[in-house]
A and B are shown apart, each in its own frame.
Chain A
């Protein structure tokens, strides 16, 4: 039996191999590849090990030189300092608020729009689609100055609302959800309509439940994007009590800080801040892995 290898995902160690694949050349190829991938994994992981080791070091040992991949003196001083004395707590709470409200509204509004765009006999649908797709050609960075003015005129500067409004809905999410909605059989829509159901009812009882994978995909993209949101925060927020985690952390890890060794901000404090900033994403990762890969490939193909 010839078993195709190197192509399918469900490839196991016990696969029957062809002659070419059991030869000595093949054997050394496999070994070389494993070594190469091991080195790659190390290049990716060691920086994070270093961060963890320093974050859990005591103040003094974090200032020592040397390669640190394990704390020589365990301590959670860095965490308590950054959380309480430096006040990352408030920034963390702000980030949680903006991320949850922003993501919820984003998913809801995108789903509304996506539902409208799958209607077959809607006057003006083509125009709507063009209106939405064209927004994807205008990246937020390139209109940051007028966006600042708009937020200023609307009285949104220095409010968390400005951050929620930033990226409240996106053409990308709408089109991605539209793809999912299109795979729901149109017969379902028709029979519900014949039964006299309103559009909102059809949307809620048929489309939302049948498109959970799509909703989860954009929700997770949005959660990560909003947690990491940076430019809108430095644009609209100047009052440090309204800072989100990323911006509060930026002040902590900026190069000027990194070179001054005398302040309260020692490396263990900085690295503890980084650990706190990535922790929610690490906790989410196992849940989102499936949808993420799906979303990435779908998004890249459909664009």
Chain B
């Protein structure tokens, strides 16, 4: 005990260095987490007293069709991004890797990666404009083929599809760079041996590259699952009253209920459920993919 105390006083400078970080996490992560869990059991409208109401906020959510609607939207949009967005980065990485002209390779790589760097306000703003039925680039191109203008953001089916496709467009370059780095790290002698055995390029990709990319696929999948239920910015920026009901997700619902309508207790209960769902989903993916076991 004494020696522990002496060691602690010896390390005074170290404790001084870490205290701001501890204090920050305590005030801006752990306390809000605690406060959020408590508020989820209270009737709390930001002002006035906060009576304890037990599970009422949770049962309100259970019986609220608007809640189930945003759950469905989140799963459709988030799941759509997860599934449809899985393959493009891999295909892009494989193709980029085959490019011989390094300047073209670098250019394409930068071009695919660039949108990931920009905010959702920028990307959303660009696509709202591109998809506009009056003079938007996409509809102008469709018009070249004699198609009628499509109301991408005011027709609910199209709006949902847009909410899935635009994030894939934005973020596929990011995942592609992760894959490309893994491909580059594969031992060249494996390909050499395969070629001596007469394996074609596609056989090489299928038999060597893809199996060796499996750990990276798991990492990317994990990252995407973690983000699935947390989608916010893209919807907030691109939504409009016409399609809002069909594309609002859990986090925009929480924002609207808690911040716009001061229904803090109810919004907190939904946040707690989403947090638990994210942890559960992560655990499931963790188990299914065997992530962390054999890497």
Contact = CB atoms under 8 A, between A and B. Distances in A.
Given A20-B200, A34-B104, A199-B17, A147 B32 contact: yes
Given A20-B195, A198-B13, A281-B118, A4 B174 contact: no
Given A123-B8, A270-B129, A7 B188 contact: yes
Given A33-B98, A142-B271, A41 B107 contact: yes
A198 B107 CA distance: 48
Contact of B95 (A36, A150, A296): A36
Interface in B84-128: 92, 95-102, 104, 107-108, 110-112, 114-115, 117-122, 124-128
B29 interface: yes
Interface string B130-169: 1010110100110000000000010000000000000001
Nearest to A143: B32
A285 B120 CA distance: 18
Interface string B1-45: 000100110010111011011101101111111011001000000
A37 B17 contact: no
A301 B259 contact: no
A149 B17 CA distance: 28
A51 B125 CA distance: 10
B37 to A, nearest CB: 9
B178 A296 contact: yes
In the complex, which range does the number of interface residues on chain B fall in?
A: 35 or more
Contacts of B31: 146, 150
A212 interface: no
B207 interface: no
Nearest to A64: B135
A143 B122 CA distance: 25
Contacts of A132: 21, 25
Contacts of B97: 6-7
A9 B119 CA distance: 30
Contacts of B99: 33-34, 37
B181 interface: yes
Nearest to A63: B135
A44 B174 CA distance: 13
Contacts of A301: 219
B237 A300 contact: no
B32 A51 contact: no
B72 interface: no
B195 A119 contact: no
Contact of B21 (A123, A146, A169): A169
B145 to A, nearest CB: 13
A200 interface: yes
Contacts of A273: 125
A300 B188 CA distance: 23
Q: Most A CB atoms within 10 A — which of B32, B177, B204, B232?
A: B32
A67 B140 contact: yes
Given A67-B141, A301-B219, A250 B268 contact: no
Given A150-B28, A165-B28, A300-B178, A200 B13 contact: yes
Given A6-B97, A6-B201, A37-B99, A144 B21 contact: no
A253 B33 contact: no
B186 interface: yes
B278 interface: yes
A227 B31 CA distance: 27
Contacts of A227: 119
Contact of B195 (A18, A67, A169, A258): A18
Nearest to B182: A297
A300 B219 contact: yes
B285 interface: no
Given A26-B201, A253-B129, A141 B264 contact: no
B108 A41 contact: yes
B98 A6 contact: yes
Interface of A: 2, 4-9, 11-13, 18, 20, 26, 29-30, 33-34, 36-38, 40-41, 43-48, 50-51, 54, 63-68, 109-110, 112-113, 115-116, 119, 121-123, 128, 131-132, 135, 137-139, 141-150, 165-166, 168-169, 174, 198-200, 203, 224, 227-228, 230-231, 234-235, 246-247, 249-250, 252-256, 258-259, 261, 267, 270-271, 273-274, 277-278, 281, 285, 289, 293, 296-297, 300-301, 303
Given A46-B137, A250-B121, A303-B223, 4 more contacts: A41-B111, A51-B126, A139-B278, A145-B264
Interface of B: 4, 7-8, 11, 13-15, 17-18, 20-22, 24-25, 27-33, 35-36, 39, 46, 92, 95-102, 104, 107-108, 110-112, 114-115, 117-122, 124-130, 132, 134-135, 137, 140-141, 153, 169, 173-174, 177-178, 181-184, 186, 188-189, 191-192, 195-196, 198, 200-201, 204, 216, 219-220, 222-223, 226, 230, 232-233, 236-240, 251, 254-255, 258-259, 264, 267-268, 271, 274-275, 278-279
